[in-house]
Structure 1
Amino acid sequence: MSLPEDLDELARAVIDENRYMTLGTSEADHRPRLSPVYFTHAGYRTFYWVSSPDARHSGNIAARPEVALVVFDSNVEIGQGRAVYVDAVASVVPDDDLPRCCAEAFPDAGPGAVAFQPDELSGDAPLRLYHADATGYEVHLPGRDPRNAAGIDTRRRVHPVKQT
């Protein structure tokens, strides 16, 4: 199986077909902190997830908002890896923006997913809505792909956001 010619389309497909991403934040001592989170996205620009503000990754975001995201398909055969790497800036969604952002993040919750309402993510509620606004994207290009002259797995910069 070869990857599609259009690597931008590959990035969109990987993001659309997977529900979990690895969120990478930085600890105060610069060590990485990796957390798997269920996510949704809006137009491949903004990635949303719900988390406790007491979680370590949430505290890391409050102190150091630059994050890295990886969305990947873990079900493919060896050598057929498909992944999207996203550089982003993350923060908690302010209460005033919750109505708009909840509508954007949860337009049609799938099986087992929760379409949170603003009152479930504010006040005394134990969870908050977070978002990461993408600043750059790369896709995984396996060494076996004929476009990869080096023959070694690498990354290629892509632009999956559709221009309107």
Structure 2
Amino acid sequence: MLGTVFETGEPWVTPVWFAFRDHVRFHWVSSPTAKHSLNLAARPQVAISIFDSSVPVGGAQAVSMKGMAEELTGEELQRGIDVFDRASRSDNGRGWELDEIRGESLLRLYRATVSEHWVLIKGRDPERGSGVDRSEQVSLG
């Protein structure tokens, strides 16, 4: 899930399929007229939550993150589409090319660069549990 904020300060959350190379940079393709894309143009701050919604309630692992996002252009666009294309081909067999995300195309490529990560600690975790589920900030460095 991708969380953005309207210019009025109201939050907006939307699901996006993303590709990542390193747990810090996340890429996705969206319409520049989508609410989250318009929000990013005005306020680049994002929140991201990743979890497996297909598991039974109480069984999911989760990570929450915050950072800054932007529409990619110039040299960054080629590097970004390489990351997105590779993951997309692997996950769903669909490849992506630059012409699909620039010029007159209806889609653009975005990247979030994450600065903070939190993981879900289940209340019943044998080492870190507290009786209730909670988030704990982690450092990747």
TM-score higher than 0.5 here? Answer: yes
Distance (Å, rounded) in 1 between the aligned partners of 2:134 and 2:70: 29
1:95 to partner: Cα distance: 3.7
Task: Kindly provide the amino acid, as one letter, of the partner of residue 66 in structure 1.
Answer: Q
Distance (Å, rounded) in 1 between the aligned partners of 2:129 and 2:77: 47
Distance (Å, rounded) in 2 between the aligned partners of 1:86 and 1:100: 22
Q: Is the 8 Å Cα contact of residues 95 and 122 (structure 1) preserved in structure 2?
A: no
Distance (Å, rounded) in 2 between the aligned partners of 1:113 and 1:70: 24
Alignment-derived partner of residue 45 in structure 1: 24
Distance (Å, rounded) in 2 between the aligned partners of 1:95 and 1:52: 18
**What is the aligned-residue RMSD (CA, Å)?**
1.6
Alignment-derived partner of residue 67 in structure 2: 88
Q: Normalized against structure 2, the TM-score is what?
A: 0.90
Percent of aligned pairs with the same amino acid:
35
Unaligned runs of at least 5 residues, structure 1: 1-21
Aligned pair partner of 2:121 in 141, 144, 151: 141
Write the mapping of 1:40-119 to structure 2, written as runs, cut at 5 A.
40-108=19-87, 109-119=89-99
After superposition, the C-alpha distances for 1:15-68 in whole angstroms (9 at most, x for unaligned) are xxxxxxx00000122111011011110111100000000001000001000000
Shift of the 33–113 alpha-carbon distance from structure 1 to 2, 3 Å rule, reads farther
Over 4 Å off, 4+ runs: none
Task: Kindly provide the amino acid, as one letter, of the partner of residue 122 in structure 1.
Answer: R
Q: Number of residue pairs matched?
A: 140
Aligned pair partner of 2:104 in 124, 131, 137: 124
Shift of the 27–140 alpha-carbon distance from structure 1 to 2, 3 Å rule, reads same
Alignment-derived partner of residue 12 in structure 1: none
Deviates more, 1:34-43 or 1:110-119: 110-119
Q: Normalized against structure 1, the TM-score is what?
A: 0.78
Distance (Å, rounded) in 2 between the aligned partners of 1:84 and 1:118: 30
1:111 to partner: Cα distance: 5.0
